[in-house]
Chains A and B, each alone.
Chain A
Amino acid sequence: MSDQTRRIDIDVPVLSRVEGEGALEVHAAGGRITDLKLRIFEPPRMFERFLEGRGYHEVADAVARICGICPVAYQMSAVQALESIFGVEPGDWVRAMRRVFYCGEWIQSHALHIHLLALPDFFGYDSALAMAADYPGEVRRGMRLQALGNELMALFGARAVHPVGARVGGFHHAPKAADVADLRGRLEAAIPEAEALARWAAGFDLPDNGQEFPCLALRNGADYPMNRGRIAASTGLDVPVAEFADHVTEEQVPHSTAFHARLDGEPYLVGPLARLNINADVLPAATRALLADTGPALPSTNPFHSLLARALEIHAALVEAVRLLGDYRVPERPYAEVAPRAGTGYGATEAPRGVLWHRYETDDAGRVTAARIVPPTAQNQARMEEDLRLSLEARGLDAPDDELRFLGERVIRNYDPCISCATHFLDLTVHRR
C-alpha cells in the first residue's frame, strides 16, 4: 500500500494570514507532486491602464492604492521614475527624508507580518489574537513596533495608509522640528525592543529547508538599499535599473494564476532574505553586530530565515531613522521644482517584500502615456511554487494531509505574499480537475 498508489489532494480554499486572497492546490501520486498550483484570487484592478492620461502629479496618489500595506514603496518607485524623466534632482534633504519615510513602512509592514501573520505558525495558534493571551509581552511588543512604523509614515504623510505627503520632487510638507525630536526619542527607545525581537526570533525552531535559489535586490555598496541602487543578483547580475526588464521576464501562465517573473529564465527570490544575502556588508554597524550574534550564516539558503531577516531589518530601519533624524532641520522648501517633459523613466525601490520596479512614458505636459509595474509578489510567485514542491516532497508525501496542508500554508506565508499589491495578478477561469 503505498505511496505508489496513494493519491493526495490538498486543497486550501482560502489562505489565512496573507494579504489578499490566494489558494493552494496540490495533486500528488506515487510519492511525487504531479500538479501544484498557487492560485491567486485577486481580481485585476488595471492600474497600469488607468494611469494613462493622468498628470504626473496625480501618479503618487493613484499608485498608493495598489497596496494599503506598502503604499510608500509604490509612491517612491513612481516619483523616482518620473523625476528621472524630468531631470529633477531632489537634493540631500529630500533623499534623506525619503529614506526615513521608507524606514517607517519597513517597520510597520515587517512588524505586522511577523506578529499578526507569521508568528502563529511558529507557536501553533490560528491567529495572533489567540496567541496574545499566552504571549502578551511578545505580541504587544510587535504591535508597538507596528504602531511606531505607522507614526513615522504619518510624520511625513499625515496618515500611514495612503499617505498624502509625497510628490514628484520631494514632499508637500516638512515635519516640525519638535515633532521630529519627539518621535526620534521614541524610535531610539525602541531599538532595544527590536534587538530583543531579533534575538527571540533567532531561537525559533525552523524547518531545515536548504534550497538553491538566486536572490535579487538593489545594491549601491554604500548603504542598505531602500530607494537607491542598481539591480544586483547572486548570479553576478549587476545592471542599472533601466535594464531590469532585459533580465526579468514576466509571462502569463494559464495553469497558474499570476504573471510569473523569471530572472534569466529561473525562479528567484526578492525580499528581506534576498536583501540580507546581498547587502549584509552595508547594514548599519549596530545591526551588523546583532546579525553576528543571531545569525544566520550568509548567504542563507533556508527561506524560513526570512522572519529573522525581517526582524533584523526592523532594527536597521530604526537605527537608520534615528541617525538620519539626528540633525533634522526644516528646509526652506521640502521639494524641488519640476518642469515636465516627454520621455521614458525607470524607478526601483525596495518595498518591504522586495524590489518594486516601475516604468513610465510621459508626453511634453508630463501626462503618463504608458505605465508598467512589476511588484515583488509577482517576482516571488515562481519561487514560492518551487519552494512548495521541494518542501512538501522533502517532508515526504506520506505525511498526513493536515500536516502537509499546514506546511504548505506556512511556506507561502513565509514569503509575506502581498497579493493585492500585484497589479496584474489574475483570477482564473480555467481550472484543471
Chain B
Amino acid sequence: MGKAGDEAKPRVAVHKFSSCDGCQLAFLDLGEDLVRLAELVDFVHFAEAGPVDPEAETDIAFVEGSISTPGEAERIKRIRANTRYLVPIGACATSGGIQALRNLHDGKQWLADVYPSPEYVESLATSTGIADNVTVDYQLWGCPVNGRQVLAAVRALLWGVDPVPERDKVCMECKRAGHVCVLVSRGQPCLGPVTVTGCGALCPAFGRDCYGCYGPAENPNPDALGRRFEGLGLMREDVARRFHFIHSHREPLHGAGLRWGGGGGRGP
C-alpha cells in the first residue's frame, strides 16, 4: 500500500473502536479479493493490516466498534471531519453492540465490580453507536458484517453501483430457502420474524433459533412475538433477554425488552 502514484486512488481507512475485531475480518478474510481491493484503493489507515495514519483525510472511513470512552467520543469527531463518507460497520458501530448491555444497568458500578481500581479505567457509563455521536453516511448491520457487505459498500460509494439494502426479515429468507421453521416445529424462540436478513438465515438452517445479530427489521412487532414466546413457556424475563442481547440499545428492541421486564436492577 502507499506506493508512489497512489494519489489518484480513493483513500480508505478502517478504524477500530470498542469491538471484538470481528468486523475487520470482513476485509482480512477476503483473500485474493483483498489483494485486488488494495490495488484499487489506497488503505491509508488500517492498523491491523499495517498502515497507520489515523488522522489521514479519506474518501471512505469504515468504523468498527462502539463509543464507550471519552477518548473515543473525541476521536470519532476527528474522523468525521476528515472523511467524505463515514460508514459504521457491525452491531457495535451501528447500535453499541453487545457491550451496550451496560446501558441498561449502572455502568459505573459495573466497572467497580470488575476492576479493583476503577479510577484507572477511563470508560463511559454507556456504549453507543457511531450515529448517536456524529452524522453517518451509510451503515452496515450485522455481528459480524461479511465480505459481501463491505465490498458492496465500497462499490456503491466509490463507483456509484447501488447497493441493495436488505429489508426482508430473516423469516422471509428462511422460508425462501425452504428451511423447517424452528419456531413452529420445535417451539424455539426464534427472532427471525423481527430481525433483518443479510446473514443468509444461518441459524434456522442449522436447526436453531435466530438470536437477532443483524438487528431489527423495518416495522417489526416484537411484542406480538414476545407473547408467542410466552406461549412457548418462556418467562417474561427470558423474553426480555431475547430482545436485549446483540442490539439491546436499538429500538424497538430496547423498548420491547424494557416492557417485558428487562433492564431493572441486577440482570434482567
User: Which residues on A are within 8 Å of B, measured CB to CB?
Assistant: 14-21, 41-50, 52-55, 58, 61-62, 65-69, 71, 112, 116-117, 120, 125-130, 132, 139-140, 143-144, 146-147, 150, 158-162, 164-165, 167, 172-173, 252, 254, 418, 420-421, 424, 426-430
B101 and A50 within 8 A (CB): yes
- A160 vs B127: C-alpha distance in the bound complex, in angstroms? 26
Give complex CA distance A162, B115 in Å.
27
Task: Assess A143 versus B31: contact at CB under 8 Å? Given A17-B47, A120-B50, A162-B213.
Answer: yes
Partner of B50, one of A43, A67, A127: A127
Q: Which residues of B contact A21 (CB under 8 A)?
A: 16, 47
Tell me the residues in window 52-69 of chain B with beta carbons closer than 8 Å to chain A beta carbons: 52, 54, 68-69
Are A53 and B121 in contact, CB atoms less than 8 angstroms apart? no
Which residue of A is nearest B268, CB measured?
A: A53
Interface pair B208/A430, CB less than 8 Å apart: no
Q: For chain B, which range describes its interface: under 10, 10 to 19, 20 to 34, or 35 or more residues? A: 35 or more
Partner of B120 from the list A158, A164, A252 (CB cut-off 8 Å) is A252
Across the interface, B203 reaches (CB within 8 A) one of A48, A52, A68, A164, namely: A164
- A130 contacts across to B, CB distance below 8 A: 1-3, 50
Residue B71 is within 8 A (CB to CB) of chain A in the complex: yes
Residue from A49, A132, A162 in contact with B35 in the complex, judged by beta carbons closer than 8 Å: A132
Whether B156 sits at the interface, judged by CB under 8 Å, is no
Q: Is A52 touching B51 in the complex (CB atoms < 8 A)?
A: no
Q: Given A254-B117, A426-B115, verify A65-B143 contact (CB < 8 Å).
A: yes
B118-145 toward A: CB 8 Å interface, digit per residue (1/0)? 0111110001000000000000000110
Is B20's CB under 8 angstroms from A67's CB? yes
The residues in B between 177 and 203 inclusive whose CB is less than 8 angstroms from any CB of A are 199, 202-203
Find the A residue at minimum CB distance from B33. A143
Dominant SS among interface residues on chain B: loop
Query: How many residue pairs bridge A and B at CB < 8 Å?
Result: 201
Q: Quick one: closest A residue to B37, CB to CB?
A: A129
A17 near B49 (CB under 8 angstroms)? yes
- Contact B49–A116 (Cβ < 8 Å): yes
**Interface digits, B219-253 against A, CB 8 Å rule (1 contact, 0 not)?**
00000000000000000001001000110000000
CB pair A128 B48 closer than 8 Å: no
When the two chains form their complex, are residues B245 and A58 in contact, meaning their CB atoms are under 8 A apart?
Answer: yes
B72 at the interface (CB under 8 A from A): yes
Complex CA gap A67/B23 in Å reads 10
The stretch from B76-84, B106-114, B167-175 touching chain A is B106-114
Chain B interface residues toward A at CB < 8 A: 1-3, 16-26, 28-29, 31-32, 34-35, 38, 43, 47-52, 54, 68-69, 71-72, 97-99, 101-102, 105, 110-111, 113-117, 119-123, 127, 143-144, 146, 199, 202-203, 205-208, 211, 213, 238, 241, 245-246, 266-268
A52 x B31 contact (CB < 8 A): no
Question: In the complex, which residues of chain B have a beta carbon less than 8 angstroms from the beta carbon of A162?
Answer: 22, 143-144, 213
10 A-B contacts (beta carbon < 8 Å) = A43-B18, A44-B123, A46-B102, A49-B110, A50-B101, A67-B21, A68-B21, A162-B143, A172-B208, A173-B208
List B contacts of A150 (CB < 8 A): 29
Instruction: Tell me the smallest distance from the CB of A262 to a CB of chain B, in Å.
Output: 15
Contact yes or no, B31 A46, CB < 8 A:
no
Contact of B202 among A61, A65, A159, A428 (CB under 8 A): A159
Q: Which of B32, B38, B47, B267 contacts A143 (CB 8 A)?
A: B32
Q: Contacts A127-B51, A426-B120; is A69 near B25 (CB within 8 Å)?
A: yes
A132 to B24, CA, bound (A): 19
A427-B123 CB under 8 A given contacts A65-B143, A420-B20 = yes
Q: How far is the CB of A328 from chain B (nearest CB, A)?
A: 17
> Are A424 and B203 closer than 8 Å at their CB atoms?
no
The distance in angstroms between the C-alpha atoms of A17 and B28, with both chains bound, is: 11
Q: For residue B202, which residues in chain A have a CB less than 8 angstroms away from its CB? A: 158-159, 164
- A104 to B: closest C-beta gap in Å: 13
Residue of B nearest to A419 (CB): B21
Docked complex Cα distance between A150 and B28 (Å): 12
Q: Is A53 a contact partner of B238 (Cβ separation < 8 A)?
A: no
Q: Are the CB atoms of A116 and B113 closer together than 8 Å?
A: no
Q: Which residue of A lies closest to B144 (CB)?
A: A161
Q: Which residues of the partner chain A approach B16 to less than 8 Å between Cβ atoms?
A: 20-21
What 7 pairs across the A-B complex have the smallest Cβ distances? A68-B22, A53-B267, A127-B50, A173-B206, A158-B202, A45-B99, A50-B101
User: Does A158 lie within 8 Å of B102, measured CB to CB?
Assistant: no
Q: Which of B21, B117, B211 has the most CB of A within 10 A?
A: B21
